C-alpha cells in the first residue's frame, strides 16, 4: 500500500515538474522571436504545416524514411527531419532539433495511435492543446465519462457478450481508424469474429473488445475549434468517412452479397464533405459547448483547439455520439481551402490547420502562449 502511495506521489511530482518546465519554455518564446510549428509526417500534417506557413511560421516535419519522398514535394515544409520509426520522436536527437528550432508540436491522430498517453504527457516540448485530455480519448471508460458529463446522447453499451440481443458494433481500443471493427447480433456472431481477431493476434483476449449498440442513421463527424483566448466555440465543418469494405458493399447486388461470406471492416479510406440541414446547427453548437464545459471541469484546463464529435443522425435528426477526438481529425483535410462554415466566420480561407496556427499567432502577439500550450 505504502509503495503504491509512494509511486503515485512520485509520478505526480514528476508531472508537476514537467508542467513547470514547459511553462518556463513557453514563457521564453518571446513575442518577437521566430517560432516553428512541427508535427509528425502523417494524418493531417500537410494541412497543419500549410496553415502554419500561411500564418507566418517556420515549419518542421518529423517523418519516417519511407514518407520522405512524398513530403519533400511541398515547398511550405521548411525542414524534414527523417527518423526510422515514430518512436524516435521521444529521442534526444529529435528533442534537440525541436529545441534548436524553437518548435512546438501539433498532435494529431497518428500521435494518439502510436504513443501511449504517458509518452505524450512526458514529451518535454510544448504541445498545442491539453495534453492530459489524450488519456480521455484513448481510454474507453474515461471517454464515456466525459461524454456523459457533456450530456451527449450515447449508444447503449453492452458489458457481456451474453447480453447481445440486437445489432451491435464491436470495436478495438484506441484510435484504430475503424480497422478490425465488426458487427455482431448475438453471442455466436461475436465469438466467431473475436476468434478471428485473436488468431490474427490483433487482440489478446475478448476483453480487449468494446461492444456498442449499432445506431442506424447517417454517420457524421462534427469538426469544432475552441479558442481559450476568446472563449468561443467555432463549428468549422462536417464530413462522412468512406470506409472499406462497409461503404462498398451496397455496390454488390443482394444475391452476390449473400454468396460471399464477407465480414466488412470499417477501415477509413477517405472522407466526403457534408453540409448539414441548417435546422440542425443550433443543436451542433449546444453539443460542442457542453463538451467544452465538461472538459473544463473534468480535465482542466479543458479543451484547447480542435476536437470532433462523432456520431449518427437518426431519422428524427437526433444525434447519438459514439466517439470524440480531442484533437484535429483527418476529415478536416477536406477543407484546406476553408469550409462552408469557416466562410461564414472568416474572410480568408481558414482550414483547421490554419485555425490552429492563427490561434498560436494571436496568443504569441498578446503574450498568452501558456493558455494554448501544455
Ligand atoms: P470510429 O472509428 O469509432 O469513428 O468508427 C468507425 C465507423 O464505425 C464509423 O464511421 C461508423 O460508420 C461506424 N460506427 C461506429 N460506432 C457506431 C455506432 N455505435 N453505430 C453505428 N455505426 C457506428
- pLDDT surpasses 90 at 358: yes
- Sign of the alpha-carbon dihedral angle for 151, 216, 238, 75: positive
Question: Which atom in ligand 1 lies closest to the alpha carbon of residue 246?
Answer: 12
Residues 62 and 38: beta-carbon distance below 8 Å: yes
Q: What pLDDT, on a 0 to 100 scale, did the predictor assign at position 30?
A: 66
Overall pTM surpassing 0.75 (yes/no): yes
Q: 362 vs 17, which has greater pLDDT?
A: 362
Question: Which atom in ligand 1 lies closest to the alpha carbon of residue 212?
Answer: 19
Phi, psi of 333 (to 5 degrees): -60, -20
Q: Residue range 259-271: average pLDDT?
A: 86
What is the Å distance from ligand 1's center to 288 Cα? Answer: 19
Residue nearest to atom 16 of ligand 1 (CA): 322
Q: What pLDDT, on a 0 to 100 scale, did the predictor assign at position 41?
A: 97
What is the Å distance from ligand 1's center to 55 Cα? Answer: 35
- pLDDT surpasses 60 at 175: no
- Cis peptide upstream of residue 96 (ω within 30 degrees of 0): no
* pLDDT, tens digit, 9 for 90 and up, residues 207-264: 889 999 999 999 999 999 999 999 999 999 999 999 998 998 889 998 898 888 777 8
Grid coordinates given for 368: 498568452
- With a Cβ cut-off of 6 Å, ligand 1 is lined by 155, 169, 171, 178, 181, 212, 214-215, 219, 241, 243, 266, 310, 312, 322-323
Q: What pLDDT, on a 0 to 100 scale, did the predictor assign at position 2?
A: 64
- pLDDT surpasses 90 at 181: no
Please state whether beta strands 58-64 and 36-40 pair in parallel, antiparallel, or not at all (unpaired): parallel
Range with lowest mean pLDDT among 11-25, 284-298, 325-339: 11-25
What is the Å distance from ligand 1's center to 322 Cα? Answer: 7
Q: What pLDDT, on a 0 to 100 scale, did the predictor assign at position 101?
A: 95
- Closest alpha carbon to 310 in 286, 284, 292: 284
Q: What pLDDT, on a 0 to 100 scale, did the predictor assign at position 22?
A: 75
Chain mean pLDDT for the chain: 92
Q: 272 vs 202, which has greater pLDDT?
A: 272
What is the Å distance from ligand 1's center to 247 Cα? Answer: 12
Amino acid at each position: 500500500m505504502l509503495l503504491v502511495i509512494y509511486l503515485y506521489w512520485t509520478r505526480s511530482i514528476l508531472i508537476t515538474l514537467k508542467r513547470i518546465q514547459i511553462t518556463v519554455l513557453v514563457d521564453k518564446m518571446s513575442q518577437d522571436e521566430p517560432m516553428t510549428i512541427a508535427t509528425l509526417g502523417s494524418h493531417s500534417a500537410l494541412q497543419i504545416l500549410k496553415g502554419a506557413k500561411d500564418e507566418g511560421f517556420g515549419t518542421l516535419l518529423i517523418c519516417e524514411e519511407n514518407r520522405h519522398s512524398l513530403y519533400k514535394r511541398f515547398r511550405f515544409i521548411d525542414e524534414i527531419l527523417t527518423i526510422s520509426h515514430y518512436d524516435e520522436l521521444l529521442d534526444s536527437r529529435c528533442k534537440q532539433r525541436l529545441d534548436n528550432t524553437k518548435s512546438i508540436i501539433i498532435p494529431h491522430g497518428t500521435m494518439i495511435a502510436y504513443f501511449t498517453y504517458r509518452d505524450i504527457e512526458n514529451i518535454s516540448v510544448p504541445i498545442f492543446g491539453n495534453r492530459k485530455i489524450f488519456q480521455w480519448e484513448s481510454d474507453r471508460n474515461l471517454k464515456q465519462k466525459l461524454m456523459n458529463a457533456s450530456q451527449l446522447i450515447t449508444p447503449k453499451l453492452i458489458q457481456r457478450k451474453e447480453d447481445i440481443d440486437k445489432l451491435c458494433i464491436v470495436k478495438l481500443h484506441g484510435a484504430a481508424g475503424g480497422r478490425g471493427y465488426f458487427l455482431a447480433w448475438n453471442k455466436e456472431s461475436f465469438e466467431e469474429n473475436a476468434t478471428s481477431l485473436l488468431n490474427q493476434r490483433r487482440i489478446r483476449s475478448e476483453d480487449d473488445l468494446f461492444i456498442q449498440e449499432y445506431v442506424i442513421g447517417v454517420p457524421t463527424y462534427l469538426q469544432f475549434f475552441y479558442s481559450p483566448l476568446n472563449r468561443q466555440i467555432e463549428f468549422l465543418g462536417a464530413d462522412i468517412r468512406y470506409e472499406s469494405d462497409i461503404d462498398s458493399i451496397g455496390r454488390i447486388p443482394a444475391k452476390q452479397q449473400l454468396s460471399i461470406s464477407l465480414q466488412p471492416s470499417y477501415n477509413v479510406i477517405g472522407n466526403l464533405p457534408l453540409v448539414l440541414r441548417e435546422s440542425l446547427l443550433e443543436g451542433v453548437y449546444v453539443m460542442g459547448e457542453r463538451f467544452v464545459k465538461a472538459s473544463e471541469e473534468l480535465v482542466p484546463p479543458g479543451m484547447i483547439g480542435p476536437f470532433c464529435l462523432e456520431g449518427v443522425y437518426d431519422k428524427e435528426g437526433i444525434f447519438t455520439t459514439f466517439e470524440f477526438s480531442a484533437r484535429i481529425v483527418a476529415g478536416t483535410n477536406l477543407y484546406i481551402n476553408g469550409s462552408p462554415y469557416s466562410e461564414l466566420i472568416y474572410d480568408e480561407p481558414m482550414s483547421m490547420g490554419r485555425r490552429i496556427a492563427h490561434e498560436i499567432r494571436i496568443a504569441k502577439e498578446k503574450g498568452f502562449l501558456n493558455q494554448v500550450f501544455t
